[in-house]
Structure 1
Amino acid sequence: MTTATLPNRTRVLILLVAVVLLGAVGTGAVLWASDRSAERDRTQVGGPVVTRGEVTLKDPAARQLVFRNMAWGPHRDEVVTVPAGHPDGPRTSSGVQCLRFYAAAGTGICLRADRGALQDTYRAVVLDDHLRELRSFPAAGIPTRSRVSPSGHLAAWTVFVSGDSYAGTDFSTRTSIVDVRDWNLRENLEEFDVIKDGKPYRAPDVNVWGVTFADDNTFYATVATGGQTYLVRGDLAARTLTTLHQNVECPSLSPDGTRIAYKKRVPGASEDAPWRLYVLDLATMTETATAEQRSIDDQAVWSDDRTLLYAMPGDFGADLWTVPADGGGAAGRLLEAAVAPAYLG
């Protein structure tokens, strides 16, 4: 007997059973996929464990290291935290994606890409202590550097307007500073007056990048002009950039305000990898080479007054390494699959 010759009531019953079975199979598949998704949410294949949780930028119970997670998986490019004392432990992900990130005193600056069908655009997003967006500013190019003042009142960022590497000379940057208290934006630090060797200086090729803050008025940065780079001290109120030392790129001020860590171009190095990591004493202008012998293309972070933290290429894109600031010791990898770090607490 075929299905067509069965009584109507029997055919309806068969249809109902089939629907129930299909529904059970579908529900099982969804639950299985959900379990697999949850498992992927907890782990990264071949990398560190990452789980979604609450990330805050202010007054953590214990000192935290916050950074952009580079491990493959659902949390790649998200801002994550780990205990500073256990950097290789499980990572807590905020769900907030940034290409470059920094934070201090409850303020975060996130340089973000908005992916378009024909062209990507970029924004500098100021975040509160729960990583909620406070204000967003269009960025003129590819994000590369970001910093927040120790008070959390000022945020700075640098983007490539043309070119995509500091190694050569064919690039241009745009560096901005915003006061998060009143949203006063200094959109382009190239508009500040340059004082070089004690005299006013003007040139069409002035380029500024890599801000590091001393306080809510004084900062340091790199100025390039005439084929040379200089460490400058910036004054927001006076709108001036005063040269202090030559051959300094991507400066980072120590917590005690006495030294600058920076990239220095060294003779004989490759044109594609020309830098070594140095520390400059601001009182004596004495330079000290660190034990890191590889070329570093990053703006280092001081984990304390004695140790530098910086990114180097790694299996997932970048790893974080440390080295003593006094020239002794040796470089060592702190954790893998990470970039753009900041310490909280």
Structure 2
Amino acid sequence: MRRAHRIVVLLVAVLVLGGVALGATLHAADRAAEKDRVQAGGPEVRSGDVVLGTPGRAVFRNMAWGPHRDELTSVPEADPSGPRTASGVRCLRFHSDAGTGVCLQAVHGALRDGYRAVVLDAHLRELRRYALAGIPSRARVAPGGRVVAWTVFVSGDSYAGGSFSTRTSILDLRSGRLDRSLETYRFFLDGKEHRAADLNVWGVTFADDDHFYATVATGGRTHLVRGDRAAGTLRALHTNVECPSLSPDGTRVAYKKRVAGASSDAPWRLYVLDLRTLRETATAERRNIDDQAVWRDGHTLVYSLPGDYGSDLWTVPADGSGRPRTLMEAALAPAFTPVRRG
């Protein structure tokens, strides 16, 4: 073979091999991009910017298997089953209001694992962080975004025995004041101060920066209480109320209620309490609800139920009418920012 011919063959071989390598690279990139978009046959998820408080968008914990599992993720409220935008910020529990978020996270260390509460700004940048004494359970932000609360499950309380114990904290972002345990507040039952070693408080829902509702458990019973931060008080209003959620107009509370005859493994049903009349209304959801529901608007509740990915979000009217409907699969801990019209 002449030298010139050998050079031509060599160049062709180099070009062919280069083309194969380029094709393999592009194919791998396409597969990686596809993996980023579609997670194990679940919802379509892509990396992008998530901004809290964007009108018409919901933010929640993505539960679909894949690279974006547990990340704060956003979808248009008008298309909740549509493509999701994942932020890269992971949370076990989450809530937001007015551009402020509270994210309860797992922390994996070299010697031991733990948990922390992280306060986020509208662009999911960390503002503050606090170590948590137990496993994340509930999180809420007050209207206006200036006060946040969280609840964790803890162990070691002598009175608890085989049952759970909680710690609920409230943080004022303006002053930096942190009430580490609402059990230090004075609890009033039937108009009289009630002192008990087995007091537990959980499930804060805010009326405003200074007032809130929550659950207090003592003596084997649960109570809806109205809390006053300035006075440091909790006043019982109604019994058999757990994980309350205040309506946008402040007149009703959605909550889970233990119902007679239900299994001890699945005792709760979703109810709504009118705070003016204390009249209870059972929703059309008849399954066990172990969640702190949120209000999608003034008429509709959203809550989680077990699903193929661990949790799906369901919705039901708050007035007892209608029937439950799936809102989003593979989702948990939603926060809604409705479009304001006027």
- For normalisation by structure 2, the TM-score amounts to 0.90
Distance 2:107 2:33 in 1: 27
**Who is 2:5 aligned against?**
none
Out of 272, 289, 293, the residue aligned to residue 286 of structure 2 is 293
Distance 1:315 1:298 in 2: 17
Residues 1-345 of structure 1: matches in 2 within 5 Å? 30-58=25-53, 60=54, 62-116=55-109, 119-162=112-155, 170-345=163-338
1:32 shift after superposition: 3.7
1:330 shift after superposition: 0.6
AA at the equivalent of 1:56: V
Pair 26,119 (structure 1): closer, same or farther in 2 beyond 3 Å: farther
AA at the equivalent of 2:295: W
Taking every aligned residue pair, what percent have the same amino acid on both sides? 66
Structure 1 unmatched runs, 5+: 1-13
1:182 shift after superposition: 2.5
1:27 shift after superposition: 6.6
Q: Equivalent residue of 1:121, what SS? A: strand
Select between 192-201 and 117-126 the one with higher mean Cα deviation: 117-126
1:18-75 per-position Cα deviation (integer Å, ceiling 9, x unaligned): 99999987776555433322211111121110111111013x2x41111000011111
Distance 2:34 2:336 in 1: 29
**Who is 1:3 aligned against?**
none
Pair 172,21 (structure 1): closer, same or farther in 2 beyond 3 Å: farther
AA at the equivalent of 1:137: Y
Distance 1:118 1:144 in 2: 24
Distance 1:172 1:207 in 2: 7
1:154-194 per-position Cα deviation (integer Å, ceiling 9, x unaligned): 1111111139xxxx970001101101122211111111110
Select between 28-37 and 305-314 the one with higher mean Cα deviation: 28-37
Structure 2 unmatched runs, 5+: 1-9
Distance 2:125 2:138 in 1: 21
Count of aligned pairs between the two proteins: 326
**Who is 1:7 aligned against?**
none
Q: Equivalent residue of 1:268, what SS? A: coil
**Who is 1:10 aligned against?**
none
